[in-house]
Amino acid sequence: MTRLPIPLWRTLSVWLMLVLCAAHAQAQAPVCRVDPSWPTVPNDWIFAAMAGIATDSKDNVWVIHRSAGVTMKKACCKAAPVVMQFDPSGKLLQSWDGPGNGYEWPLPNNEHGIFIDHKDNVWIAGRGATGTSENQILKFDSKGKFLLQIGRRGRGTGSNDTANLGQPADMAVYAPTNEVFVADGYGNRRIIVFDADTGAYKRHWGAYGNRPDDAAPRETKNQGPGDPQFNQVHHVRISSDGFVYVADRLNRRIQVFTIDGKFVKEAFVRRSSPETAGTVSSLAFSPGADQRYLYVADQAEDVILVLDRQTLTEVASCGRLGRQAGQFVSPHNIATDSKGNLYVAEDLGGARLQKFVFVSAVQALTGLPSAQSPAPAGSESASQWLGREQRIEEHLKNAKVTSVEDLGTGVTRPRRAYLAPNEPVASLVWKVLPPGRRNGYWESYKSEIAAYKLDRLLNMRMVPPAVERQIDSDTGAAVMWVSGMKSVKELGGKVPGGADWGKPIRQMLMFDNLIRNIDRNAGNMLIGSRAGDLILIDHSRAFTIDKKLQNKVERVDAELWERMQTLTRESLTRALAPWLDDAAINAIITRRDAMATEINKQIAKKGRALVLIP
């Protein structure tokens, strides 16, 4: 037998270990890597505290800093201009200083926040830290020409003043409505919205969507119920599916609202941190239609956090306290571009800019390309809700029902309800099935919602959005009507075959085992126009406490199995408790463990490669 040299054996062992680790990392959040060469600036420039950072439609990076803070008066150097624009490679494109005629530029060291809108206009805010209240925001074109001022310095009367601001920290423009949303949070405690062209007032709201109250105490609450008022609204960003994310810095939380200001949810971010400052300073989204991750600048702990945008749970982090490349001293503001690069602006002791590239966990471990590649340009997924889940859920819950018709199919007697307005979805499937046994079968409308929630937890993207709502005094499940697809039954009853269909079919069988779905049939498998497009509907008879597996376990999808193994009673309870009781949740875990037993048997018999399919 030929023996491998020891160094080669060790190299192969390490490589094998990394590959095995990569299989686990495949479903994990991306990993950041710093670009230490970015940006390139003139040799005689010095940065002061960074007041804001943003990207434009061409992925150029815009920065504003407090140039008056440069106190080192040396012959070698000078303060950089207040506003700078860099291209993605870090090359300086232009720069300009702020003060001019016809508008009130923030006084020295009062600059705070920059945003570039869909027309590449430049928005600037000011906090008033020197004692003079900057109660205005400014709008310029991309060359620095003044266009608009909203509010006036020193004229604000509080959080319910509709003409002036109160030391605004930042702003964001929402293109579909052409409105500017202002994080009016150093003096005031609200989000306020204006027309982005005229500056006309539209609406405002405080924490939980309520009217802000300036008389309420400004006390940091790091335990117990959330503060009923904002405590330093420091940043605002709007997702592609139309939800407003607010950084309530000193309350250490993120609150999410609809465009109209209706409260959706909140999440505390490292609330128990021993640091004295706030943990939510700035927000940015990952690229892609679903904007899967929300990045958070934790200025208190000098780290960038990666949150799952839907659950707002922390899944990864980037950097730590330090002065080396890739480390932070007071990460104040962050921004992302269309490629997924992350830009960080540090203030106070940092006073610098950094660029990070995100790679998959597999690439980070092995240096190999990720097995998951994006869909080709121009392709459209059958999962029409991706990236719009929250907006669609709100629409399913609240849109007016104009008419309801019987579908005339299905043993659970679903109906179709038409909605007004007809965007983002025009109709829904309506099921009124109170939990109980009918004709020998357990049925529940809540199982429809649980299937959707579990699909999201597993990141399958195969079950359309479902919510609970009332129609004509009946409570039931409102499930998104998926248009442009046909059922297997309508296509002749034959399940598609071929390499492109193996993965979704395996995932369907595994999912049905996990939820004990006894009713999968040709009528509730929807086929899209692309090979491999499979949508699963009708789960009202699933989630019984029966511990048997519905399908034989032979070949399983390795990626989905990896995610299924991470499920715990605690994670399932958080996601499914409103829809399933403890017995049903425990049965999911039991069936998952039964799947593990069968998979291990198959591996022992056939080998891993023939059982766990990439």
Instruction: Classify residue 199: in a domain, yes or no.
Output: yes
What percent of the chain is predicted at pLDDT more than 70? 90
CA distance 547 to 285: 40
The band of 150, judged by pLDDT with boundaries at 50, 70 and 90, is very high
- 126/251 same-domain check: yes
Residue 373 is assigned to a structural domain of this protein: no
> CA 156, CA 132: separation in Å to the nearest integer?
11
Distance CA 145, CA 197 (A): 15
Same domain, 349 and 414: no
Residue 276: pLDDT band (50, 70, 90) is: confident
Q: What pLDDT sits at residue 6?
A: 47
- The Cα–Cα gap between 480 and 458 comes to 19
Provide the pLDDT for residue 358. 83
Average pLDDT on 253-261 reads 94
- At residue 141, φ and ψ (nearest 5 deg) are -80, 180
Judge contact between 535 and 487, C-beta under 8 A: no
Could you give the count of Cα atoms lying within 13 Å of 67 in the half-sphere of its Cβ?
17
Assess contact for 150 and 184: CB atoms under 8 A: no
Is the same domain home to 401 and 311?
Answer: no
- Residue 237 bridge partners (DSSP): 245
Contact between 266 and 253 under an 8 Å Cβ cutoff? The reply is yes
Q: What is the pLDDT of residues 518-571, one digit of tens each?
A: 999 999 999 987 888 899 999 999 999 999 999 999 999 998 998 899 888 988
Residue 80 lies in a domain: yes
Least confident span in 115-124, 219-228, 391-400: 219-228
Asked whether 191 and 205 are in contact (CB, 8 A), the reply is yes
The reply to whether 403 and 468 lie within a common domain is: yes
| C-alpha to C-alpha distance for 34 and 274, rounded to whole angstroms | 27
pLDDT for 383 equals: 67
Same domain, 426 and 361: no
**Predicted local distance difference test score (pLDDT) of residue 401:** 94
Confidence check: pLDDT of 425 > 50: yes
Classify residue 35: in a domain, yes or no: no
Residue 21 has pLDDT above 60, yes or no: no
Pairing, β 352-359 against β 293-298 = unpaired
List, in sequence order, every residue forming a beta bridge with 358; answer none if it has no partner.
32
pLDDT at residue 324 in the model: 93
Domain annotation covers residue 6: no
Per-chain mean pLDDT for the chain: 88
**Please, where are the H alpha helices in 3-107?**
6-25
**CA-closest candidate to residue 24, choices 457, 454, 510, 563:** 563
The token pair at 269 is 């971010």
Q: Are residues 352 and 424 in the same domain?
A: no
Q: How far does CA 21 lie from the centroid of its chain? A: 26
| 473 lies in some domain | yes
Q: Which of 57, 83, 137 is nearest to 345 (CA)?
A: 83
pLDDT at 386: 74
- Position 382 in a domain: no
Residue of higher predicted confidence among 2 and 463: 463
In degrees, rounded to 5, the angle at the alpha carbon of residue 335 between the alpha carbons of residues 331 and 340 is 120
Share of the chain above pLDDT 90, in %: 70
Amino acid, res. 367: G
209 plus 354 within the same structural domain: yes
Asked whether the predicted pLDDT for residue 328 surpasses 60, the reply is yes
Confidence at residue 574, expressed as pLDDT on a 0 to 100 scale:
85
pLDDT band at 322 (very low <50, low <70, confident <90, very high): very high
DSSP three-state, residue 141: coil
Structure tokens, 94: 């232009």
Query: What CATH number does residue 193 fall under?
Result: 2.120.10.30
pTM as predicted: 0.62
Bridge partner residues of 285 (DSSP): 294
Same domain, 80 and 153: yes
Residue 363 binned pLDDT confidence (cut-offs 50, 70, 90): low
In this structure, the answer to whether residues 413 and 266 fall within a common structural domain is no
- Mean pLDDT over residues 277-282, rounded? 94
How many domains in the chain? 2
The boundaries of the domain holding residue 434 are 389-613
pLDDT above 80: residue 237: yes
CB 169 within 8 A of CB 136: no
364 pLDDT band (50/70/90 cuts)?
low
Q: Which of 31-40, 45-54, 250-259, 360-369 has the lowest mean pLDDT?
A: 360-369
Question: Does one domain contain both 250 and 312?
Answer: yes
- Within-domain flag for 405: yes
The mean pLDDT of 272-276, rounded to a whole number, is: 88
435 lies in the same domain as 359:
no
What is the pLDDT, as a whole number, of residue 410?
60
- Over 60: is that where the pLDDT of 579 sits? yes
Q: Is the pLDDT of residue 481 over 70?
A: yes
pLDDT of residue 382: 60
Q: 296 and 309 in contact (C-beta within 8 Å)?
A: no
Pair (276, 204) in one structural domain: yes
